[in-house]
Structures are given as structure tokens and as C-alpha cells.
Amino acid sequence: MNKRTILLAAFTVLVLAQWAVPSSMILRREASLRQGKEFKLRVRPLDPYDAFRGRFVRLDFDAVAVAPPGGGPVVPDQKAYALLKADSAGFAMVESVSLAPPDSNDYLAVTLQPEYNLRTGNTGKAQIVWPFDRYYMEEAAAPEAERIYRERARNSMVYVTVRISRGTGVITGLFVDGRPVEEMIRK
């Protein structure tokens, strides 16, 4: 083989790799949207602005504390898998947390943080950090979504729906009192 053939082969492999990585990420998310089980997670949204990504509603999830997987101490930013089940209202409940992916499809890759109490220090439990914290929406609609939320925050149920399959979760909607926020903006 001559140098030109080797360079062409290397360039081809490089181009294929550059297409393969984002394609696999997109396909995993699309598979979760099509085949994933839908859960609801309670949130407290805020509306920040990111110059590069535009408007979105920042999601602040209710805290979920669990027993550490394996019974040992939790290391900060520890990767784990939360097996989820739905309660009678469809809200996600963490059934268990493990360090290896469970056999079920209804699990989500999460990060664990040690839970601390200001008075006693480390509680021995783990706090779940969900893998998503933003709900992207139309640029002009996000400030109105924030206004609606602030007006109803104390007396409303706010949640997102998430499709979960094999560790990947994709947010499919933001709801205030059971109605999609986009529908409330249009009215």
C-alpha cells in the first residue's frame, strides 16, 4: 500500500467515526421516545437564558434520597442506575438503585451524591441527580411559561413527562395542573 491509500483509508475511518458518534446518540434518544415507558417527575421550573442554546425552562426536581447501592458509602458523582416504577398517579418512584444496569428496561442512568444534613453531616443516604435539567421550548414562549409558573407555583402541580428506556431518558412535556405549558401559553 502506498501512502496515499493509507491516508485515504484513515480519513474515511475518521469521517465515519464523526458520523457514528452523534448518530448513535440520536438513535438512542429516538428509541427511548418510541419504545420507552412514560413517567412523571415533579419539578420547580425557572426560566434562564443561554446565549448559545436559547431559551429553556430550567428544571429543579424534587429531592430523592435512596439507600446507597452496595451498602457502602456514596462517592460524589457516583454513576448508578435507578430502577423506576410508576405510582397510582403515574409519577416515578425509585424502586432500587444499583451500580450495574438492571434486567428491566425501565431504568435510568443517574448520578449519586452523598446526602448531607446541616446539623449532623453525612446522613448515609444518596441523593439522586437526574440526567436532565432543561426543557427547551420556542424562544418567545419560554418567558410566558415562566410567568405562568410563577403565578401558579404555590397552588399548582408542575411536572415533566419523561420517556425512559434502557438507561436513556427524554423529556416529552412540561405540565402545569395537568395541562401542557404550551397549551396554556396559546390561550
Residue 124: is its pLDDT beyond 60?
yes
Confidence of residue 107 (pLDDT cuts 50, 70, 90): very high
Residue 51: is its pLDDT beyond 60?
no
pLDDT at residue number 58: 74
Largest distance between two CA atoms of the chain: 73
pLDDT at residue number 81: 95
CA angle 161, 112, 46 (to 5 degrees): 45
Q: How many CB atoms lie within 10 A of CB 34?
A: 9
Share of the chain above pLDDT 70, in %: 91
Please give the helix or strand (H or E) that residue 142 lies within, else none: helix 142-152
φ, ψ (nearest 5 deg) of residue 114: -65, 140
Q: Which of 37-46, 78-87, 96-105 has the lowest mean pLDDT?
A: 37-46
Q: What is the C-alpha to C-alpha distance for residues 90 and 47, in angstroms, rounded to an integer?
A: 26
Please provide the average confidence, as pLDDT, over all residues in the chain.
82
The CA distances from residue 81 to 91, 101, 144, 182, in Å, are: 18, 6, 35, 31
Strands 49-50 and 54-58: antiparallel
Distance separating the N- and C-terminal Cα atoms of the chain: 68
Bridge partner residues of 65 (DSSP):
127
Confidence of residue 49 (pLDDT cuts 50, 70, 90): low
Question: Per the confidence metrics, is the pTM higher than 0.75?
Answer: no
pLDDT at residue number 71: 78
Residue 87: is its pLDDT beyond 80?
yes
Strands 92-98 and 121-129: unpaired
